[in-house]
Chain A
Amino acid sequence: MTSEFAVEMRDVVKKFITPEGNELNAVDHVTMQIKNGEFFSMLGSSGCGKTTSLRMIAGFEWPTEGEVYIEGKSTGHTPPFQRKVNTVFQSYALFQHMTVFQNIAFGLEMEGAKESEIKKRVGRALEMVQLTGMERRRPRQLSGGQQQRVAVARALVKTPDVLLLDEPLGALDLKLRKEMQLELKALQQQLGITFIYVTHDQEEALTMSDRIAVMSKGRVQQLATPVEIYERPVNKFVADFIGESNFLEGKIKHISGNEALVHIPVLNAEIRGMPMSNNFVNGEEVSVSIRPEKIRIAEQAAKGEGLFQAKVLTSVYIGSDTHVYADLNGTRLKVMEQNRISRLDPSSFYTKDQVITLVFMPENTLILKKD
């Protein structure tokens, strides 16, 4: 009876009237299917509609258009207290007038669980988030990380089908964040519950998620696995937002299957690369993207296809890598080289104005839609 998808958003639009009186599509024709047991992230910069999407799944907002399905069932106007999803709020929203125990027990009381049952389950939940012994504390008497765990325990004790987390680690310092990332991921794998995780931190999304929806201006730009998102971004926005990219603008000259030739006016040359969309047409304006670590610097000067002469602007040694910023006919490029060999000799490092040969491999060169 359970559907393949834990949550499904079909062509969902959420309109708000801004205080200035304008209509705003906070969520704009979003369709996504979140599989059972998946760690799913919504990633995007501030104001892109992540929280609004999550709130529609939780039942705090209703879609203006489209429909949200939970376990295959249309949610319509079902109130939050009748949905089998639970939320970990960004501000935690722990009840200040209750103890840790009472906070976690609240959801079970609402289900009408017996006292002995509540005791047992709260105890287990506390164990799960390693807070045993803190039952009688008030939220104010806990550290940020501990409060965060209480919020997670309070939601998980209800054994929801889906756990919604809205930037749950936003308030924590970097070190604790990293720790909690691992803990949350481990917890998700151990329980097998679907997690829908909202964050604007790309590293967090890449490390934790099975799949990521990259969002911008209320729309889903790309929905894929972390590897696909990084290695095969569908457009310039995604390539720019996730990781670092060098961009060159050009026009498609020739396209055949999974290879295309792009004319780059500033280089007065052609670059061969992989089209990231299958509806390019000849003459279309495109962006060509190459990641810094995927550009190679040739040992010796050379000429030929995919080889370009550039002038070094600066070279920054950062231990594991060297970052070389180079000028390629007026375009600034970043190149990352791993320091695989231990060396001290100053002549083995790049110096300003040195001319180097950059190697662009077609399989590392991505041809992207402009939007």
Chain B
Amino acid sequence: MNPHRRSPWVIAATVLVYFFLYAPIVVLILYSFNASRANVKFEGFITSFSDRVEMDGSFVKASPCGPFHWFCDLSKNDDVLEAAGNTLTIAFVATIISTIIGTMAALALQRYDFKIKPFSQLSLYIPIVIPEIVMGIGILTLFSQTFGWLNEALNLTGDARLSMGIGTVAVSHIAFMVPFVTLVVQARLQGFDKSYEEAAMDLGANEWVTFWRVTFPMILPGVLSGALLAFTLSLDDFVITFFTNGPGSTTLPIYVYGLLRRIITPQVNALSTVWILTVFIAVLLLQWLQSREQKPAHE
């Protein structure tokens, strides 16, 4: 028997897995081109590119954007743009900071021995395993208590009062992203031989130069993976953001949730499509970067 012939069961299972993974995404994207205003029924693609009069006599103005009607609608929606801006700002800031902290933590855990090391290692898993909602409530309580106390103690009034906003969201995102980054970078460091660093120092590089010329380039793929993971976690975080945001710091997930409670239009789909595409391109870009990094220089 040919060992490479696959059993029909395996093929069926594969198809099913892919179906459940990708069908929702395909549907979502299809619906963002829906001709209907209601998002529950697919009435075909937007095909009418000129003004027309319906059978019942109503006048329908053609969309200037053709099939991308809902995307145009979206781009005129200031709330969406603001939410998108907030989401990206928070994701970028939180990713950069959590990647720096997480990488440093991973390096410290790898090379130094200290009394509380087993505890530090274990404590990394706690934010990952405890329910997000518990963490969200915890952070909310912490912030509101501290802010209340500080506002009172420093006699802050008006705009100077500390309150929930983009800052608190970013800080809480950093808090839950650091362990993820640390774990990803640690995995990369597992096989890292300290003789590379010793070789660099042997050749005359001090600790600083050794880090930037040898250690960092070698662990960079791990750091990038950690950063990407952190970035996507931040982009689609709902629960923690829900507890820590404030006026003016609505992010996309929070905004979409708000939309869904009112009316569902294909605008939501268009928004999701853009979102998926962004993440998809980011992942592809990273893959490409990594493969280019590993590919040998031409002969």
Residue on B nearest A160 in the bound complex, by CB: B202
With A93-B193, A138-B296 as given contacts, are A80 and B217 in contact (CB-CB < 8 Å)?
no
Give A90 Cβ to nearest chain B Cβ, in Å.
8
A107 CB–B CB distance under 8 Å: yes
- Contact A96 B218, CB 8 Å, known A79-B206, A136-B297: yes
Does residue B52 face the partner (Cβ distance < 8 Å to A)? no
The A21-61 residues at the B interface (CB cut-off 8 A) are 58-60
Structural contact, B193 and A91, CB atoms closer than 8 A? yes
Q: Across the interface, do B198 and A93 meet the contact criterion of CB distance under 8 Å?
A: yes
Question: Do the beta carbons of A136 and B206 come within 8 Å of each other?
Answer: no
Shortest Cβ gap from A19 to chain B (Å): 11
Give A110 to B208 CA distance when docked, in angstroms: 12
A93-B193, A136-B298, A141-B296 given as contacts; is B201 within 8 A of A86 (CB)?
no
Contact at B213–A58, with CB atoms within 8 Å? Answer: no
* B6: min CB distance to chain A, Å: 33
Q: Which residue on A lies nearest to B220, using beta carbons?
A: A97
Assembly CA distance A96 to B199 (angstroms): 12
A81 touches B202 (CB 8 A): yes
Are A89 and B198 touching (Cβ within 8 A)? Answer: yes
Q: How far is the CB of A346 from chain B (nearest CB, A)?
A: 58
Task: Bits for B283-299, please: 1 = Cβ < 8 Å to A, else 0.
Answer: 00000000001001111
Are B298 and A158 within 8 A (Cβ)?
no
Tell whether B205 is near chain A: CB-to-CB under 8 Å.
yes
A137 touches B199 (CB 8 A): no
What is the interface size of chain A, counting residues whose CB is below 8 A from a CB of the partner?
A: 28
Q: Does A106 contact B (CB under 8 A)?
A: yes
Residue of B nearest to A89 (CB): B195
Taking CB atoms and an 8 Å cut-off, the chain B residues in 95-149 that contact chain A are none
Let me know if B203 and A158 touch, CB within 8 A. yes
Q: Which of A60, A87, A94, A97 gathers the greatest number of chain B CB atoms within 10 Å?
A: A97
Interface set, chain A 128-163, CB cutoff 8 A to B: 136-138, 140-141, 154-155, 158
Residues on the A chain within 8 Å of B206, using CB? 79, 81
Contact residues, B265-299 vs A (CB, 8 A):
293, 296-299
Binary per-residue interface labels of chain B (162-199) against chain A in the complex, 1 for a CB within 8 Å, 0 otherwise: 00000000000000000000000000000001011011
Q: Which residue in A80, A94, A96, A107 is a CB contact (below 8 Å) of B198?
A: A80
In the complex, are the beta carbons of B199 and A87 less than 8 A apart? yes
Task: Give the Cβ gap from B139 to chain A, nearest Cβ, in Å.
Answer: 39
Are B214 and A95 closer than 8 Å at their CB atoms?
yes
Task: With both chains docked as a complex, state the minimum distance between the C-beta of B116 and any C-beta of chain A, in angstroms.
Answer: 19
Query: When A137-B299, A141-B296 are in contact, do A80 and B202 touch as well, CB less than 8 Å?
Result: yes
| CB-contacts of B194-251 with A (<8 A) | 195-196, 198-206, 209, 213-214, 217-218
- Among A59, A95, A97, A111, the residue within 8 A (CB) of B199 is A95
Find chain B residues with CB under 8 A from A97 CB: 217-218, 293
A140 to B198, CA, bound (A): 20
Is the pair B299, A136 in contact by a Cβ cutoff of 8 Å? yes
Residues of B within 8 A of A155 (CB): 202-203
Q: How far is the CB of A192 from chain B (nearest CB, A)?
A: 21
Q: Which of A220-262 contact B (CB under 8 A)?
A: none
Check B204 against A110 for contact (C-beta < 8 Å): yes
Task: Report Cα–Cα, A58/B217, bound state, in Å.
Answer: 25
User: Bound complex: CA of A175 vs CA of B272, how far in Å?
Assistant: 64
Q: With a CB–CB cut-off of 8 A, which chain B residues contact A79? A: 201, 206
| Residue on B nearest A140 in the bound complex, by CB | B296
Inter-chain CA distance A220–B5, complex, in Å, is: 64
Given contacts A96-B218, A97-B218, contact A86 B296 (CB under 8 A): no
Contact with A along B10-44 (1 / 0, CB 8 A): 00000000000000000000000000000000000
Task: Flag whether A99 is at the interface (Cβ < 8 A).
Answer: yes
Instruction: Using known A-B contacts A91-B193, A136-B298, determine if residue A111 contacts B198 with beta carbons closer than 8 Å.
Output: no
Decide: B298 and A110 in contact? CB cutoff 8 A. no
Which of B203, B293, B297, B298 sits near A86, CB closer than 8 Å? Answer: B203
A97 to B195, CA, bound (A): 15
Q: Tell me the complex Cα distance, A119–B221, Å.
A: 30
**A81: which of B201, B297, B298 is its contact (CB, 8 Å)?**
B201
User: Can you name 11 A-B pairs with beta carbons within 8 Å?
Assistant: A58-B198, A81-B205, A86-B203, A96-B218, A97-B217, A106-B200, A106-B203, A136-B297, A138-B296, A154-B203, A155-B202
B interface list, Cβ under 8 A from A: 193, 195-196, 198-206, 209, 213-214, 217-218, 293, 296-299
Q: A80-B198, A86-B203, A95-B218 are in contact. List 7 more A-B contacts (CB 8 A).
A: A81-B203, A81-B204, A81-B205, A87-B198, A89-B195, A93-B193, A93-B195
